[in-house]
Amino acid sequence: MDRTLIILKPDAVQRGLTGKIISRFEDKGLQVVGMKFMKIPVELAEKHYAPHKGKPFYDGLLKYMTSSPVIVMALQGKGVVDIARKMMGATFGFKAEPGTIRGDYGVSASFNLIHGSDSPESAKTELAIWFKPEELVDYELAARAWVFD
């Protein structure tokens, strides 16, 4: 099974959308194997967003991501990175298709509700930033046989 990192960003928390978003992933058949509710320290945000350092939006991104609590999750499932990315929709809500998380809940060009790893490689790197190995729980999901063939 593959794993990916998902962050429900400050706007998702402040708008009370976290339960709805988590339910969408679980309804799809993806397995939550790690979860934290936290306010991101600046140093952790800098580490996660290091590839964007020097870009015009970097400072604003750090300010936004550290402004309010977030939910950080590790999801598991076959092809989970691609599945989660499709479920999230286009980066900005006003461009995202209806039926996607951003398409159903977002219109902003600045606040986009959710982060998801963009490749299996970045998922491994990002999961290691946010979770210690012992914080990710291996368990047999009873419905797995009915979800993945």
Note the pLDDT tens digit of each residue in 4-18. 999 999 999 999 999
User: For residue 144, what pLDDT is reported?
Assistant: 86
- Fold exhibited by the domain 2-133: Alpha-Beta Plaits (3.30.70)
Q: How far is CA 84 from CA 53, 64, 92, in A?
A: 25, 22, 16
Tell me the pLDDT of the chain averaged across its residues. 96
Distance CA(21)–CA(25), nearest Å, equals 7
In this structure, the number of other CB atoms found within 10 A of the CB of residue 122 comes to 15
Which amino acid is it at 84?
A
Sheet containing strand 114-116, strands side by side: 31-38, 70-77, 2-8, 114-116
Structure tokens at 43: 């140093």
Q: Residue 3, exposed/middle/buried by CB under 10 A (0-12, 13-18, 19+)?
A: buried
Residue of 63 and 147 predicted with greater confidence: 63
Q: In which band, very low, low, confident or very high, does the pLDDT at 55 lie, cut at 50, 70 and 90?
A: very high
* pLDDT tens per residue, range 66-83: 999 999 999 999 999 999
Cα-flanking dihedrals φ and ψ of residue 104, to 5°?
Answer: -85, -30
Q: State yes or no: pLDDT of 145 exceeds 90.
A: no
Please tell me the number of Cα atoms within 13 Å of 84 on its side-chain side.
32
Q: Which residues are catalytic?
A: 115
User: For residue 47, what pLDDT is reported?
Assistant: 97
